Amino acid sequence: MTPAIWSNRIRREKQTLACMLRLYCKAHHGGKKSLCPACRKLLEHTWERLDFCPFENAKPVCVRCPHNCHASRDRAELRKVMRYAGPRLLWRHPLLALLHILDSKKHPQRSDST
Ligand code: SF4
Ligand SMILES: [Zn+2]
């Protein structure tokens, strides 16, 4: 992981989601080195939304976002993934988990607002 990933909020969020999905997929769908097709699709959809996130580096966690841009089906799936993988991330990827907890304290602020 390059140091830039820590300062680039969107890249870090992508990395966090990929780690969480790997934990979830391994436990629920038998995914080993790669994600199952459903989890891969969810990751791709989520990354696409992140590419257009208007908050950029000031991005809040999606669950607290007033402008939740994920499709409702993806949102429900992501909630399940977070519920399972959130606590486990702390053991597997403590730095990502800690930064995610800090992000969850942030208030949403668009990058174009002054
Ligand atoms: S839900 Fe909100 S924070 Fe998450 S990607 Fe969409 S706009 Fe950005
Ligand atoms: Zn899966």
Ligand 2 mean position, distance from CA 13 (Å): 19
For residue 13, the ligand closest to its alpha carbon is 1
Q: Answer yes or no: are the C-beta atoms of 109 and 55 closer than 8 Å.
A: yes
Does the structure show a pLDDT above 80 at 113?
no
Does the structure show a pLDDT above 60 at 44?
yes
Give dist(CA 62, CA 72) in Å, integer: 12
Q: Given this model, what pLDDT does residue 39 score?
A: 97
Does the structure show a pLDDT above 80 at 114?
no
Give yes or no for residue 55 CB within 6 A of ligand 1: yes
Task: Spell out the domain ranges in the chain.
Answer: 4-103
Does the structure show a pLDDT above 80 at 3?
no
Give yes or no for residue 64 CB within 6 A of ligand 1: no
Q: Given this model, what pLDDT does residue 109 score?
A: 66
49-106: pLDDT as tens digits? 999 999 888 888 888 888 889 999 999 999 999 999 999 999 999 999 999 888 888 7
Q: Given this model, what pLDDT does residue 53 score?
A: 93
Q: Answer yes or no: are the C-beta atoms of 99 and 12 closer than 8 Å.
A: yes
Give yes or no for residue 60 CB within 6 A of ligand 1: yes
82-93: pLDDT as tens digits? 999 999 999 999
Average pLDDT of span 35-40: 96
Assigned token pair, 92: 């597997």
